[in-house]
A and B are shown apart, each in its own frame.
Chain A
């Protein structure tokens, strides 16, 4: 789960990370009031969860209230990657001397939390990591939850020569790590971290995302979620314990298991078709889940055929068959159904479906081929 910059800034404040003075504004009057309180020049920053804000013109420095009005209204009218701008962060403009990068994340190969720092900030860090890896320093925690004094002292020498900067940076790094651990983040990033003309450090940007699997222990974070950025169908699927991703094609898919679902989409592509969605009904699928899955798929009017591909293990094929028959009764299913069932209780399932006039396949390739052909006509 991602949150907006202004929300991340509030969390930074709580954990003692210095941020430039300012607040988020929903309308022009509010923005003028904030600017009036902190003094011009100020920076206006569109609040979006998608990238590409700078390129889209979502950030501007303004020197007076006339400029503020002009630029505020312009930014407010932007649509960035399909999303309208509802809020604009107004902060004091800094006299930037130097920009750095610092982030805490999980290195999934080393199975450890890592703090990544670079004396080159404000740029795409992945690009830097690839082109000049020597410009990036990594501090591993070895399973600890905080900075360890001695190894940190060694690490920070390589970044800052002077004790004052070392101290200021250590305080920021410590806060970032504490925040990361406290809220089960998957990323807590400051890019850029800046030094102003008086040698003070500020987080000039704030990016935080959280581990969805750990949200149960931080219920307060759910209030920060911006539902506008969630696809309503994907949200509905999640509420029904289904894993769903919308795609561009016209072959609707219901599969059990994420790996098999991905492979099914791949074989659809291989045989010349285009999948309309990824949908994993999960293990131990009850008839109800199949009904909900079909309901979500049928909302997509582009769907020309629906492929149900089930490899029964814990999932019982007869449960799936029951769900399909129930769905046929309750829903108006126009696109043709192609059903492939193999595994646990396959025979019972096939008999059930044959009774309902639905033909089934045992081979995945044959079923996919059929669904692809039906989607063409």
Chain B
């Protein structure tokens, strides 16, 4: 089993003819993801890697019935791309794009409330359910099907974690990249809840970082709802205060947003927090 995406996911790729979009469209097709349509305004009627391209999401929706969309369009067009999906009733939208203005995201989130669309990202690597479907930019070959759910605010750090899991024969049910921006559509609590309910997930790895207080909210939720072992890693213990560490959301603005606070609070609710990503497999095996 898995969460969010599986072999029945019918994917629409927005920005499929662009540099990043076309590169990753190919990688996803190779992995076996069912890509049913692409959208690039003005390029409707063409086809790329055998996938039909449409001018709008509405048109693609009518003709190919996708139930998930992934966005590779430049930051200044990303808001409209997400809203097109919401209006077309697409259930799952995964936004890879980095650098979207915060107020654009505030507007998007206002419209998302009361819609049936779930947004993952922006500024995220995407979601993979190994062996079933890959939606995003992660390297498929490092993953392996299995019982561990991974949820993370990062990209390459997630690959590092997954690589260590796979090396230690701990396969993954699904791996979810939440994104490195301050405003993201889906947060730790949402994904932890899905993993707790997923019969195919037996253990969970959560990878947090400095900035915001999502890890604290997750800890509150874990305290009364966790029924599966959770291993955590929080990046940024050595980060200087007040500096943005690459991710727009990764900044220590107060004591609560520093790594130490997050580590302490997660430990208090029973999460096994390790000091280095390569210690995660052993901690899971003990749990």
Contacts and interface: CB of A to CB of B under 8 A. Distances in A.
Contact of B245 (A213, A262, A314): A262
B240 A247 contact: yes
B68 interface: no
B245 A261 contact: yes
Interface in A251-287: 255-263, 265-270, 275, 278, 280, 283-284
Contacts of A266: 235-238, 259, 275-276
B137 A283 contact: yes
Given A213-B102, A270-B276, A313-B156, A106 B239 contact: no
A143 interface: yes
B217 A311 contact: no
Contact of B154 (A109, A181, A214, A259): A259
Contact of A257 (B113, B156, B243, B254): B156
A198 interface: no
B170 interface: no
Interface in B125-184: 125, 137-139, 142, 152-160, 163, 180, 182-183
A260 B138 contact: no
Contacts of B236: 262, 265-266
Given A108-B183, A269-B238, A186 B102 contact: yes
Interface in A343-377: 343-344, 363-365
A197 interface: no
B275 A270 contact: yes
B250 interface: yes
Contact of A261 (B210, B214, B246): B246
Contacts of B243: 245, 278
B105 interface: yes
A349 to B, nearest CB: 14
A365 B279 CA distance: 10
A278 B103 contact: no
B213 interface: yes
A258 B247 contact: yes
A128 to B, nearest CB: 13
Given A142-B110, A259-B153, A342 B217 contact: no
Nearest to A234: B243
Given A270-B276, A313-B156, A262 B106 contact: no
B204 to A, nearest CB: 18
Contact of A143 (B111, B125, B277): B111
Given A259-B247, A260-B156, A344-B139, A214 B102 contact: yes
Question: Chain A's interface: helix, strand, loop or mixed, by majority?
Answer: mixed
B54 interface: no
Interface string B92-115: 000000011111111101110100
Given A106-B102, A263-B157, A314-B137, A268 B248 contact: no
Given A247-B240, A311-B163, A111 B246 contact: no
Given A245-B243, A266-B235, A343-B139, A257 B155 contact: yes
A259 B237 CA distance: 12
Contact of A213 (B153, B154, B209, B248): B248
Contacts of A342: 163
B107 A143 contact: yes
A211 B210 CA distance: 19
Contacts of B111: 143
B91 interface: no
Contacts of A111: 105-106, 109-110, 183
A213 B99 contact: yes
A112 B110 CA distance: 8
A113 to B, nearest CB: 6
B63 interface: no
Given A245-B240, A245-B243, A269-B238, A260 B154 contact: yes
A259 B138 contact: no
A257 B209 CA distance: 13
A292 to B, nearest CB: 16
Given A112-B109, A186-B102, A278-B246, A259 B235 contact: yes
Contacts of A263: 157, 160, 233, 235, 276-277
B82 interface: no
Interface in B7-47: 20, 23-24
Nearest to A282: B246
Given A111-B109, A211-B101, A365-B278, A258 B238 contact: no
B196 interface: no
Interface in B188-216: 207, 209-210, 212-214
Nearest to B101: A214
Contacts of A162: none
B249 interface: yes
Given A257-B155, A262-B239, A213 B275 contact: no
B253 to A, nearest CB: 9
Interface in B237-267: 237-240, 243-250, 254, 259
A108 B139 contact: no
B235 A257 contact: no
Contacts of B163: 311, 342-343
Contacts of B75: 213
Interface of A: 106, 108-109, 111-113, 126, 142-144, 181, 184, 186, 211-214, 216-217, 243, 245, 247, 255-263, 265-270, 275, 278, 280, 283-284, 311-315, 342-344, 363-365
Instruction: Please list the 4 inter-chain residue pairs (A to B) with the smallest Cβ-Cβ separation, ordered nearest first.
Output: A143-B110, A259-B154, A258-B246, A257-B156
24 contacts: A106-B106, A108-B212, A111-B105, A142-B110, A143-B106, A143-B109, A184-B101, A211-B102, A214-B101, A245-B245, A259-B180, A260-B154, A260-B157, A266-B275, A266-B276, A267-B276, A267-B277, A268-B238, A270-B276, A278-B245, A313-B156, A314-B24, A342-B163, A364-B277
Given A108-B249, A313-B155, 14 more contacts: A111-B109, A186-B102, A211-B102, A213-B100, A214-B101, A214-B103, A243-B245, A257-B156, A257-B157, A262-B157, A262-B246, A266-B236, A314-B24, A364-B278
